Amino acid sequence: MSQSACGTQSSRDVFRYTSCGFHCFDQCVLKVRVRDGRIVSVEPDDTIHPGVAREGEHPPGGLGSTAMVQYRPCAKGYAMVREIYDPRRVIYPMRRAGKRGEGKFERISWDEALDTIARKLVEVKEKYGPYSILHQPYSFLGQSSFPLAPWFGAGVAGWGAHSTNGFQEPQNWVYGKDLLEGMLRFGHFALTQDETNIFKSNLIVLWGLNPVSLMSSRVGHNLLQARERGIPIICIEPRYTPSVEVLADQWIPIRPTTDVAMMIAMANVWFKEDLCDNDFVEKWVDPEGLAKWKAYVLGTADGVDKTPGWAEPLCGVPAETIREFARLYARSKPVNLSVSLSMGRQFYGENATRASMYLQALTGNTFIPGGTAAAELGLWWGRTGGALPVVDWQQADWEYVAPVLLAMYKWPRAVDLREKLDAGEISTEEYNNLIGNRADNPPPHIQLVILESNNHVNNLPGMNQTIRAMKKVAFTLVFSQFAGSPSARYADILLPQIYSAYEGRNGGCGLLWPLFTTTINLGSHFIYRQKCIDPPGEVRPNDWVWTQIARRLGIVEKYNPRMADVPYEKWDETIEEIYREAYDTWAKRDDIAALNPPGWEEFQKKPVFRFPLEGDPYYPFKHEVEAGLNPFAGTASGKIEFYSKVLAQGPEYLRTHEVPPGSGKCYGAGNLPPMAQMTLGGKDTFYSEDAAKYPLLMSSPHSYYRVHSWLDNSPLLRNDCYRHAVWMNVADAKARGVKDNDLVRVYNDIGEMIIRAYVTSRIVPGTVAIHHGGWYLPQGGTSALMPDGVDGRGAPNLFTHEEDLPNTVVGTFPCKGLVQIEKWRGAR
């Protein structure tokens, strides 16, 4: 917004409060200035400490006393408003007018769109059966997110999650805990910490984590406060990131996919120099599993002593650095170790995530003030689970529960391989094994794909496989703000998508993640997102869309009885009445009434409720420790387990059994080791057979200027602001005759793109990086690898493989790929 538009307050100005509600999970507070029905500015949080620029010592006692701080938005939160008024925005329903992928559409009415969708749902169910409809992005954790599934009687559920499987599953094996399951069910977030827990640490280690770019400003601010208080911060990762630049006392560069080698070598030092917390280990670590892992680390099991000297050629970190860091770590208790989820998003990533948990256990840091259980989420999940206003939508009892028939991110593979199953080229058992389904389960037959509030075509690993899947199914329905987005281009029916932060009421009816709707929470607060403006054109809330489809299917009174007869003109007003009812009920709860919440009218003036954080900050398992409970009662031994007896049963067991039983999770046949170890080989690692042809290991870190792929087309966050390019080390670029800003061809066996090079010493040799979320935009000719056109923008998932047989399917969302780069000498 221009200075003239918003620099002076007008008597016509109205202020509303909302939150982004997107996938960064920070839920920052946006103060929105509206004038004559149009947003003229987005301003920072003033619901607490207004006018205080630096909150470190405000109020008296500082952050460590209350943790009640402002939630200030980042560049993405401010830039989002420009997309609302983008002339390219989809503002009415559209129907495909060309081939899938061409992005050609024609305008249709809402009645025609809704009638078509309802008819296709019925046709696909009748022809292909109940396991033929897939709704994404949240058909995971054993549920289907298809809003109408319980009463329409069709839908497929998946297990696992987009981002967290590489951590979530190891947490089950090691701690007997499921972090994400607890979060989504509003249980206690046992493995997390309050942000102010870092102030009780003696050493903060950010392993692969870049909070300055990835999290809200307050996280980086708190870490900076910790450093200014004398708490050293060490960053370990392949790139010299903004977090390294701003926060780190030391940067330890490391080769991607080799973190576990360094961790093993650290443990080797501790075992030999008696630096473990022996009292903690004796009480809380399973001795049988520890003995097996110790034998591996010291080489008594295989004859290879895993010393820092052994690790140096693997991970690229000098042996002396590993040795001295290990000693510092062991002597700095409490150590606050936060490990990036990206560590689990690679082949054999479960090894490193498990090993990070071992490090904290061996040094007694797992559940003490200032310590962590080794998870990225520790820096930013709150602890207010179960304390939110919850709407009773009065839905009918479920008549159908979608079965878990695949690992949720394997759905493109399930579609792509189905024709081989139907032709008898592979057996049902083989098909199920490839998609993470138990061998004796019925196979899914996905023929109708619904992509709502996501960009799966762009953001799943193995993008060309996802494109093939979108072309093969009988019908595709996509909700999107822009017809040019990669997923929208493959839609049969394209529906406009509201910006729920500003434009209306996605009330949360039937959603698996109601915390992302009107009442937002993931910190020690919640926000009631107020409607700021009316959406343009014929844009409608998603809840309204599903209610109209439910009416056509004859199930509206079961799906959304409270809104079934509400005309669109009264929709937002009715949603607000329902949320007021939920708020009033919540405020009367004994545990909430004691906090003296304001009445609804007063609350609406600044609709943010902060939960007091009295006493010591929360640290992992604190509630169980203080109650005298065993935090690890979920494991077979009742202790932290370094060795999984379930995984040790081998491929045949994993092919035919769920882990744990009843979860729907079937890892498939493979060679997942029962304990953390350095595994050579595999897909998309330095030790793959493919490295001879594709010697550069690409990583795809998140960008400061996007949330996944959202905002990649924002004019505010491109060009002068952000150059989307492939990062190359100076040595790698020189060897290929590439200079900074040259066009280069990046390719491997499954993808190809033409993109600019960013030549820098800020990344380790042999490694390149293309930031996650760049849109796949064909801008050149086609090729054998790229039948829909060679990418000219830079979508890194063109190079990531989603499978690495015979390894298991547990490691979700691989974000790395081996590539080769050459200077591009053709036309753009």
pLDDT at 300 over 50: yes
Least confident of 57-66, 749-758, 808-817: 57-66
pLDDT value for 157: 92
Q: Please state, as a whole number, how many other Cβ atoms lie within 10 Å of the Cβ of residue 54.
A: 9
Q: Cβ neighbours of residue 485 under 8 Å, at least 6 residues apart?
A: 455, 458, 709, 713, 775
What is the arithmetic mean of pLDDT over 459-473? 94
Query: Where do the DSSP E strands lie in 529-659?
Result: 608-610
Of the pLDDT bands very low, low, confident and very high (cuts 50, 70, 90), residue 509 is low
Distance from C-alpha of 168 to C-alpha of 811, rounded to nearest angstrom: 10
The model's pTM: 0.92
Q: What is the pLDDT of residues 568-584, one digit of tens each?
A: 999 999 999 999 999 99
Give 807 or 488, the one with higher predicted confidence: 488
DSSP element (H, E) containing 451 = strand 448-451
Helix (H) or strand (E) holding 106: strand 105-107
Omega within 30 of 0 (cis) for the link into 660: yes
- In sequence order, what are the residues at sequence separation of 6 or more whose Cβ sits closer than 8 angstroms to the Cβ of residue 650? none
Please check whether the domain covering 165-382 is classified as CATH 3.30.70.141: no
Does residue 801 contact residue 750 with C-beta atoms inside 8 Å?
yes
Rounded to an integer, what distance in angstroms lies between the CA atom of residue 330 and that of residue 272? 13
Q: How many CB atoms lie within 10 A of CB 304?
A: 13
DSSP state of 199: G
Could you tell me the fold of the domain covering 1-85+506-535+566-612? Phosphorylase Kinase; domain 1 (3.30.200)
Three-point CA angle 637, 639, 641, nearest 5°? 85
Closest CA to 776 of 366, 570, 490, 551: 490
Q: How far is CA 123 from CA 130, 447, 559, in A?
A: 11, 10, 20
| pLDDT digits 0-9 by tens, 718-738 | 877 788 999 999 999 999 999
Of residues 738 and 224, more confidence is placed in 738
**Separation between Cα atoms, residue 539 and residue 546, nearest integer Å:** 14
Sorted by where each begins, the domain ranges of the chain are 1-85+506-535+566-612, 89-156+402-497, 165-382, 689-823
Average pLDDT over residues 83-97: 96
pLDDT of residue 682: 76
Is the pLDDT assigned to residue 59 strictly greater than 50?
no
Distance from the first to the final alpha carbon of the chain? 33
CB 674 within 8 A of CB 666: no
Can you list the positions of beta strands (E) in 562-636? 608-610
CA distances from 21 to 29, 417, 422, 685, 713 (A): 10, 35, 42, 35, 19
CB 330 within 8 A of CB 197: no
Nearest by Cα to 94 from 568, 666, 463, 492 = 492
Q: Is the per-residue pLDDT at 56 higher than 50?
A: yes
Residue 684 in this model has a pLDDT that exceeds 70: yes
Distances (CA, A) of 686 to 298, 696, 808: 24, 8, 19
Provide the token pair at 540. 């409608």
pLDDT score at 733: 98
For position 24, what pLDDT does the model report? 64
Check residue 579 and report its DSSP letter. Answer: H
Residue 684 and residue 256 in contact, taking contact as beta carbons nearer than 8 Å: no
Question: Residues 219, 223, 229, CA angle at the centre, nearest 5°?
Answer: 145
331 residue type, one letter: R
Residue with tokens 């199930």: 555
pLDDT average, residue stretch 754-780: 94
pLDDT at 139 over 70: no
pLDDT at 228 over 70: yes
**3-state SS track over 372-386:** CCCCHHHHCCCCCCC
Query: In this predicted model, what pLDDT tens digit does every residue of 473-505 receive, in sequence order?
Result: 999 999 999 999 999 999 999 999 998 889 887
The region of weakest confidence among 206-220, 623-637, 719-733 is: 206-220
Q: Does the pLDDT of residue 602 top 80, yes or no?
A: yes
| Backbone φ, ψ for residue 203 (5° rounding) | -155, 135
Block residue for tokens 């009065």: 394
3-state SS track over 644-670: CCCHHHCHHHHHHCCCCCCCCCCCCCC
Q: Is the pLDDT assigned to residue 382 strictly greater than 50?
A: no
> Which residues touch 582 (CB under 8 Å, ≥6 apart)?
389, 390, 391, 392, 519
Instruction: Please state the rounded mean pLDDT for residues 422-450.
Output: 94
Write the burial class of residue 319 (CB in 10 Å: 0-12 exposed, 13-18 middle, 19+ buried): middle
Longest dimension (CA), the chain: 79
Q: Hey, what are 500's tokens?
A: 């729920």
pLDDT-derived band of residue 180, with 50, 70 and 90 as boundaries?
Answer: low
Residue-averaged pLDDT of the chain:
87
CATH topology of domain 89-156+402-497: Rossmann fold (3.40.50)
Strand partners, 207: 236, 339
Is the distance from CB of 466 to CB of 474 less than 8 angstroms? Answer: no
Nearest to 173 by CA among 635, 649, 650, 667: 635
pLDDT at 302 over 80: yes
Predicted confidence band at 323 (pLDDT cuts at 50, 70, 90)? very high
CATH architecture for segment(s) 689-823: Beta Barrel (2.40)
In sequence order, what E strands does 259-315 have? Answer: none
Q: Is the pLDDT of residue 741 over 80?
A: yes
- 3-state percent helix, strand, coil for the chain, nearest multiple of 5: 35, 15, 50
Residue 812: per-residue pLDDT: 58
